[in-house]
Amino acid sequence: MRIRIVDAFTDRPFAGNPAGVLLLDASASFPDDAWLQNVALEVNHAETAFAHPLPEGGEADWALRWFTPAAEVAMCGHATLATAHVLTTTGAVQGPVRFATRSGVLIATPRDDGSLTLDFPTAPLTAVEVPAGVAEALGAEPLTAHDTGPNVGDLLVELADEKTVLGLTPDTASLGRYSERGIIATARAEDPSRGYDFVSRCFFPNIGIAEDPVTGSAHTALAPFWSERLGRTELTGLQASARSGRVRTELRGDRTLLSGRAVTVIEGDLLV
């Protein structure tokens, strides 16, 4: 079968977040979980997406699952964007595509400008006390902290400013103590004229990812967080990892739209 590496949430190669994408033959079920996990470990990117077409007439067109090198995850934005990019650029689908996932039906819609928009559930934010030890592990004192609910599974912490977020050198392993997946660190953009409204970095030690380059699922929590503070439903986030990437967000109540581009950088045959 064909396997592709796609850089998501970027319009150029070697930026954004790379994802493996495998389009499987039509089947009533996915291959064995151990095989899926081994392929994801071999690809060794933050996530590898596996998708197969579903019979016509149902609520979804393709079944979709995501695996990190260490575990299956409940929701992944960049690998969904990467999968939709492969489906549209290869002609496998035309127009919107509906994915059946562990997080419900997720819809990806191609836009005239070449970008794709994902329709994801908005993360339910719950304000919590900053857990003891987070500031020491992160290397910065959070202003606020929020639980992001079961689909995202992170602790979202607001820091003083963009400079603090960019300068983080956390004890990544220690951050895994405070949530199911890890930590989202965020702050208001220092200069919105640069084209983004907030900045973030994401550390996910519990699923084998020290720092994720660009995290679509995290923006389902960042969108409501910053929309409330900035008074706008449409925002752009910069995830300031070494590879970096931008995610356009639009808050629509219990749904969040995530938009971005993707670039296929590698295509080949999986021989096992």
47 has catalytic annotation: yes
Residues forming a β-bridge with 20: 5, 48
Q: How far apart are the first and last CA of the chain?
A: 9
Tokens 């794709």, residue located: 116
What is the radius of gyration, based on Cα positions, of the chain? 18
The CA–CA distances, whole Å, from 195 to 62, 112, 157, 192, 199 equal 34, 21, 22, 6, 11
Q: Is 195 left (phi over 0), alpha (psi -120 to 50) or beta?
A: left
Closest CA to 156 of 77, 215, 213: 215
Residue of 47, 158, 162, 211 marked active site: 47
The sign of the dihedral angle between the CA atoms of 163, 165, 170, 174 is positive
Token output for 191? 């200069």
Q: Which helix (H) or strand (E) holds 4?
A: strand 2-8
Give the catalytic positions in this structure.
47
